[in-house]
Every structure is written in structure tokens, then in C-alpha cells.
Amino acid sequence: MITLLRLISILVVALRYRLDELVLSSLQHPLAHFMLRIVCLGWRPRRPRGERLRLALETLGPIYVKFGQVLSTRRDLIPADLADELALLQDRVPPFPSEQAAQIIQEALGAAPQALFAHFERDPVASASIAQVHFAVLHDGREVAVKVLRPGMRHAIERDLTLLRVLAGLVERLMPDGRRLKPREVVAEFDNYLHDELDLIREAANCSQLRRNFGPETGRAELLMVPEVVWEYCTSQVFTMQRMRGVPISRVEQLRQLGVDIPLLARQGVEIFFTQVFSDGFFHADMHPGNILVSDHPDTLGRYIALDFGIVGSLSEFDKNYLAQNFLAFFHRDYRRVAQLHIESGWVPADTREEELEGAVRAVCEPYFDRPLAEISLGQVLLRLFQTSRRFNVEIQPQLVLLQKTLLNVEGMGRELDPKLDLWQTAKPFLERWMHQRVGLRGLRQRLDQEASQWSQILPQLPRLVYSRLSQPDLTPAMQAEIQQLRRAQQGTQRLLGVLCGVLAVGLGVAVWAIVHGGAL
């Protein structure tokens, strides 16, 4: 019943902001224009379509706001007026009252903001779909940013996730490709990420991990700056971190005036993404322009600054190796290897003809090589690959959906910074270097260093463990059952032999008696 009511409320919001007119006006078909005249009833909306779409998404709640944030980075897929308006969702969602924020801080940290901080700015500096941020100053003089969770978030998200689960079940049952797309698994992944965002302690931990991954000892400090966590002022509803100063990455002209090398900035953004994915297996998965700043301080001018760590992704060693080999095969235009990797990983049926899959992938990817990013739409490439995957029954991998979303965000930012950026050539050297480190002597030495502490404990015990194993073999239940069965069979055979021996002895005795007494007669 709740799901039905939510669906009705979504339809009401769509009609209120005349999203029906927006959809029909984008279709180039006589029937669509006829329907448009009917639904408009002789009048047109006064507000621009982009503003109506943004307001509708804000009204519907955080899940829909995040959807708008992703769309805002894809100017190659949506008109410019829609992208400009949706970009406001990145950090300009209407804030909730400051009194509520102060009350949440007092309940979470045990004291009013005026007592906790030497100075606390009442008005939020940024407001997003899940939380809003207030600047403050600690009593020791450190400038911090205090992130406060929006009230009522858990209920709103659970309501919309319930609807998504129902829709995913319908897709799985009714669509021909429903099972292959694994919609319920994808919704489950989305569920996990959204609930992770609702726990600001988890976000603080994500921030701390990313800061270590790009710390001075890693040699990557020049690529990315991550704020320091102030743990004594963190709870599940409040997250306090070092205040970072910079220019939003979307303000390209301002960055250019400051002297930032924009093409270099674009290349470093690609390198940061691939470093997080393949070197760490831990990546910032909400990289829209509202969460990325560029430092304007003279000492750190042009360095990326990461904010908002509510959604992060992680990959297993198998996923990293598989993806890296796929990327390298694409970069080398080795489409046969791409086909082999899909078959070896089990993503396509084992009886798939390798040469057919190779030809299909070549037809999708070959037209896009050696072209600048301005002429390449990764969204279109993924769409064509998706259409090809239907033909070969490729199974969608839910754990990679978040990575695909992040890759689209990275491409969108790269397009804004430098339309001439060659995404393929920028990533290729990094992946080749990464693969060499993993399969070469350097990679072997690193893995030996990682395992050294474990082996130092095991090696002295190895002779004793081997002797114990050989002297007292640990039989499995199946082996024990077989041995018992053999013992019972052996006992039965022994009993049978005993009976036969007894019968034979009696027979021999009778025969001897007959011979003796017969001879006497």
C-alpha cells in the first residue's frame, strides 16, 4: 500500500512540474506532438524545463537528487539548459533550518555548538541531498567544517528503496533480459551505498582511509588533498573535518585566471581515478563537481581537493586484475583478448564463439580510437556495448555498477576541463606500469614483503606440523565412512572364511574316518 501511494505521489509531482510536457517535447514523432497538445490543454508552463526538472527531483527526495547530480555531468547526453540547472543540485539543495542543525549537534555531541566551538556559522555553506555543512572554529584555532545529517533521511530512503525493489522485481519477471541484468542485485548494491551515507562515522572512516592512501609516504600527495578528520567531534549524525579552501572544479575560467594548468589538471584527474581503482581498490565514488575543489593557495595551487566521502567503492583482487587486463586489451585493440577474458571470467556462457564476440566488440570500439574526448561519448560506447552484451547473454556484475557511474562522472569532468583530452592515451601508460609492477620482479618483491610477517611465524613450525600431519592423518568424514565400510566387509569375509574352514575341517575328518574304517573292513 505504501509503495502504491509513493508511486502515485511521484506521478503527482511529475504532473505538477509538467514533466510530461518535457518528455513529449523531446520526442520527434507526430503522435508525440499530438499527445503534447492534449496534455498541455492550450497552455504552456511558465518556468523553464530545466528548473521544473530540478524542482521535481528536489521534491521527490535524495535518491532522485543523486540521479540529477549524475545527469548534470553528462552534457553530451542531455541539453545544456538541463545540465546547467541540474548542476545546482550538487551543493545548492534547499537547506533545513539551522535550529534543527544545532539541535542535532547538541544531541549527538552532548553540548550546544556555541560551547563546542569558539565560532560556529549559523548559516550553512553548502547543502546537499543527505546533509548540510557549517563552518566553525575550534577552541585551539583550527578551522573545521561540520557536516550534519538531514533529519528524517532514513525513512525517506527506505520508502523509495521499497519502490525500487518492486520495480526491479517487475523488470526481472517481465523483461526478456530481466534475469541477465540482475536488477534486484543492483538495487541491493544501491541500498548498501545509500545506507552507508546515512552513517557519518563510516564517512569519516572513508575520509581517513583516502587521506592515508594519498599521504606523503605514498608519493601521491601532489595529486590529491584530503581533509583531516577531527574524531572527537564525530558521531553517526555529525562529521567534523579540516576546512579545505579551493575553487570548484567546474569554474574553469577562474582556475585559468589563477594560473592553473587546465590540460595537466584534466590528465591528473584521470590518473587519480585509475590510481584509486587499480592501486588501492578503494575509490571515491561520488566525484561530481560539487565534491571536487582545486586548491587556490600558492603552495598547493592546482592540486585536487576531495570532499564528501559518503559513497566509496571497493574492488577485489580478481575484479582489479580483470578490469586492468580488459582496459589494456582495449587500449592495444586486442579484441580477441577481450573476448577471451569475458569467457574465462564466466561473464558469458562457456559455449560462446570467441571470434563472434571479438568481432562484435571490435565493431563497437574501433571507431572511437585516436579521437579527442570532445568527439567521444563514453556513455554512447557503454550503450553500444550494452546492446552487444544482450546478444551474447553477458551477465551484469552488480559490484561494478558503482565503478561505471564513477567513470561517467570522471569523463564528464574531463570533458569540462579539456575537450581535447585523449582519455585512452592518458590511462594507457598508467595501466601498463601498474601491470608491470604486479607481474614483474617488483610486484613479486612487494607481495613477499606483505607475506613475510605471516611466513616468519609459520616456517619454524612447519617441520612439526608436517610430522604431525603424516603421523596422525586428519581423515575427512567421507574417508572415515569408507574405512568403516571396509572394516565391516573385512570382518564379514573373515567370518565366512572361518565357517568355510570349519566345514572343510569337518569334511576332512569324515573323509579320514571313512578311509580308516573302510580299510579295516
H/E run at residue 146: strand 143-149
- Quote the DSSP letter at residue 229: B
CA pair distance 324, 436, nearest whole angstrom: 11
**Residue 297 near residue 223, CB atoms below 8 Å:** no
Dihedral sign from CA coordinates of 429, 432, 438, 443: negative
CA pair distance 162, 157, nearest whole angstrom: 9
**Residue 123 near residue 110, CB atoms below 8 Å:** no
Instruction: Give the 3-state secondary structure of residue 312.
Output: strand
Extract the runs of DSSP E, i.e. beta strands, from 32-160: 119-120, 126-127, 131-137, 143-149
Cα distance from N-terminal residue to C-terminal residue, the chain: 110
Cα–Cα distance list, 188 to 185, 191, 239, 306, 510 (Å): 5, 5, 26, 27, 85
How far from the centroid of its chain's Cα atoms is residue 247's Cα? 27
How far from the centroid of its chain's Cα atoms is residue 48's Cα? 34
**Residue 354 near residue 340, CB atoms below 8 Å:** yes
Q: Which residues are catalytic?
A: 286
Cell of 86: 541540474
Instruction: Give the 3-state secondary structure of residue 145.
Output: strand
Q: Is 141 left (phi over 0), alpha (psi -120 to 50) or beta?
A: left
- Quote the DSSP letter at residue 278: I
How far from the centroid of its chain's Cα atoms is residue 72's Cα? 20
Is residue 137 exposed (0-12), middle (13-18) or buried (19+ Cβ within 10 Å)?
middle
Cell of 193: 551505498
